[in-house]
Amino acid sequence: MKAIVNIYLKEGVLDPQGKAIHHALDAMNFQGVKDVRMGKQIILQLDSESKEAALAEVTKMAEDILANTVIEDYSIEIV
């Protein structure tokens, strides 16, 4: 089983990497990009008995170590 964890800064938290990417896109004449937010993706291969068990385990991982929940949000997809 595979878990995909997407981690991104919460709304209102300054994103200097996103601003730098946005500036570079503007400089390269890409039109219509209103905002850019940078994030990260972690893909985990799991040996879980069920999707529910995998989701519970990965949620605990995200809360404890993968994401800084003070400034970051995350989403989990089990596939």
Can you give the residue ranges of every domain in the chain?
Answer: 2-78
CATH code of the domain made up of 2-78: 3.30.1280.10
Using one digit for the tens of pLDDT, what is the confidence trace for 11-44?
A: 999 999 999 999 999 999 999 999 999 999 999 9
In angstroms, the first-to-last Cα distance of the chain is: 6
pTM of the shown model? 0.88
* pLDDT (0 to 100) of residue 44: 98
* Strand 2-9 versus strand 72-78 pairing type: antiparallel
Decide if 10 contacts 73 (C-beta within 8 A). Answer: yes
